Structure 1
Amino acid sequence: MSAPVVAAASLRAEHLSREYPSGEGRVLALAPFTHTFPSGLTAVVGPSGSGKSTLLNLLAGFDRPTTGQVWVGGTDLTALSEAQRADFRLAHYGFVFQNHNLVGILSAQENVEFPLTLAGVPPRERQARARELLAQVGLENRAGHLPSQLSGGEAQRVAIARALAGNPAVLLADEPTGNLDTRTGERILALLQGAAGAGRTVVLITHDRDIAARADHHLSVLDGVVTPA
């Protein structure tokens, strides 16, 4: 079963900002910024606490902005209800986290199938798609293993396969190589580059400037201010 062509969808932040209450004042976690994320791999770099994760949470619709909008194609993500945002993410987004966030009681195969199950994909179709994706990340022989039986790099590759299961137009990756050795991190980066090369918009949060240097596009975040890098 071959993967369908990825439908292009622009990802755009318009006057996006986030403030949090703190004591008697407010803390500016992300200063207002406007940016269109092109297809390909965009690396967002900056030190811990700079605002990178705040940015990612806003782009994903996990958090509400203080000002501004997030547009995916012609849809304003910030105008949707919580339930509508969840449905929209399922249809258009894929996510890879630093700690992979696999479901511990599910096998690698079942973890990859999971978003397809939520989307109502028939069993035979989702099983075939999961097998195909596990083969693409080199883990077809680990399909029946639980996350606890996988190495950190293997679990992260399963997480990437799961993120790609629904053929998303937007892929958000938060420090996916942070807990991995250099060689395994390179393999994860290559998989993300492959996803970007298929026409997706991939946003990679990283503190590793060597990893970031391999991206197609670059942004820097410092003290909540986003600038081209």
Structure 2
Amino acid sequence: MTATQPASATTGATTPTLSVHNLSRVYPSGDGQVQALAPFTHAFPPGLTAVVGPSGSGKSTLLNLLAGFDTPTTGHVQVGDTDLTALSETSRADLRLRHYGFVFQNHNLVSILSAQENVEFPLTLAGLSPRDRQARARELLALVGLERRADHLPSQLSGGEAQRVAIARALAGNPGVLLADEPTGNLDTRTGERILALLRGAADAGRTVVLITHDRDIAAQADHHLSVRDGVVTPG
């Protein structure tokens, strides 16, 4: 099996609908305010949605609001039947554990844990038995082509390998929503294409994948597109 082929590890996710309604974020700045995200309403369909824009345009603000890491100034984020923004922090964390997977630009692996242990980590939080989480982690590392690197620490992996471990970890709980923040930003073109293929596979399995990127060549391979400039989100 290659890292780009679909496998059972990428299927079977329950994909909740993800939508935002009149969502905005304003930050205080000196004597005034900065509108990081202008009010907008949008439903994110299953498949791969690319959110494109220059640095500082509001892309990361949008992602943080979708994840519930930040609180909107107006509006709300709807995940299935649940208003994410109305939940307590504990309930938001529980919802993220059940429905979300995250891939960050710098992979954010735990440095003292092996690749295998990093993938197991969210499954430990979810209460899976050691046997089940070890089997799941092995399955996912095989999916991303790193079964032979399972015992390696992040410092012993290349940037592309670490990012593939991060994708395996993001898929561990079989989430319906996958949020990826510039996951190819620090990688060479060939490795970036391999990472994109893994995200493409997750989207093709029925997940809602939201990919933040400044690279229009990467974005061109998505199913759906949003542009962000000066905090204003527009289709295409």
TM-score, reference length from structure 2: 0.96
Contact 2:15–2:175, Cα closer than 8 Å, also in 1? no
Secondary structure at 2:16's aligned position in 1?
A: coil
Secondary structure at 1:16's aligned position in 2?
A: strand
Deviation at residue 9 of structure 1 after TM alignment: 1.1
Match of 1:75 among 66, 70, 82: 82
Contact 2:47–2:203, Cα closer than 8 Å, also in 1? yes
Aligned to 1:180: 187
Map of 1:78-227 to 2, 5 A cutoff? 78-227=85-234
How many residues get paired? 229
Secondary structure at 1:55's aligned position in 2?
A: helix
TM-score, reference length from structure 1: 0.99
Deviation at residue 31 of structure 1 after TM alignment: 0.1
State the distance in 2 between where 1:158 and 1:8 align: 22
Is 1:53 the counterpart of 2:83? The answer is: no
Q: Which runs of 5+ in 2 are unaligned?
A: 1-6
State the distance in 2 between where 1:2 and 1:18 align: 38
Is 1:65 the counterpart of 2:69? The answer is: no
Query: Identity rate of aligned residues, in percent?
Result: 83
State the distance in 1 between where 2:100 and 2:224 align: 19
- Misfit runs of 4+, over 2 Å: 1-4
Deviation at residue 2 of structure 1 after TM alignment: 4.4
RMSD: 0.9
Is 1:30 the counterpart of 2:45? The answer is: no
Deviation at residue 8 of structure 1 after TM alignment: 2.2
Q: Which runs of 5+ in 1 are unaligned?
A: none
Secondary structure at 1:71's aligned position in 2?
A: strand
